[in-house]
Amino acid sequence: MSFDDFFNSNDYAKYQKYRNSRAIEQVFEFLESPEAVDKMIIATEHGRPALEGVIDEVENKAGQNFDITNDMFLRQAVGSYVKFVLEPFGYDVHRQKPLNKGKIITSATSYTFVEGKQKKRLVRVLAIEDIL
């Protein structure tokens, strides 16, 4: 799963106008980071749209370079990338829901986990450190 894989997929070819944007690439790289995937999965496990787990970061990162308030196509591209990221972890689209936290993006897709569909697994590692 990568930025290029997304644009090379027939399912997402309509978003080609963002392919050469370093700013969009940075937003998408954030969405595929383990920390973001973890937050999206936690949101999903609580019955919330996946994007709700990372909405503040996404709106800040995307809003620095784009008018996400008026660019519905970009918001759809971000949502499609969330789907692209979560599918290998075994998640399927469930339905659109309002976001509790979004300032600009007000709704997003919720997902359900499908046993046996996952090709990737998120491994959470916790550690305890001494405070000096």
44-73 tens-digit pLDDT: 999 999 999 999 999 988 877 788 888 899
pLDDT in tens, 20-44: 988 889 999 999 999 999 999 999 9
Indicate whether 119 belongs to any domain: no
CB within 8 Å of 16: residues ≥ 6 apart: 7
Indicate whether 107 belongs to any domain: yes
- The domain in which residue 101 lies consists of 3-113
Indicate whether 128 belongs to any domain: no
| Closest listed residue to residue 84, CA positions, set 51, 125, 46 | 51
Indicate whether 127 belongs to any domain: no
Q: Is the pTM of this model over 0.95?
A: no
The number of folded domains in the chain is: 1
Measured in whole angstroms, the distance separating CA 100 from the mean position of its chain's CA atoms is 16
Run of H or E including 96 = strand 91-98
Indicate whether 7 belongs to any domain: yes
Indicate whether 125 belongs to any domain: no
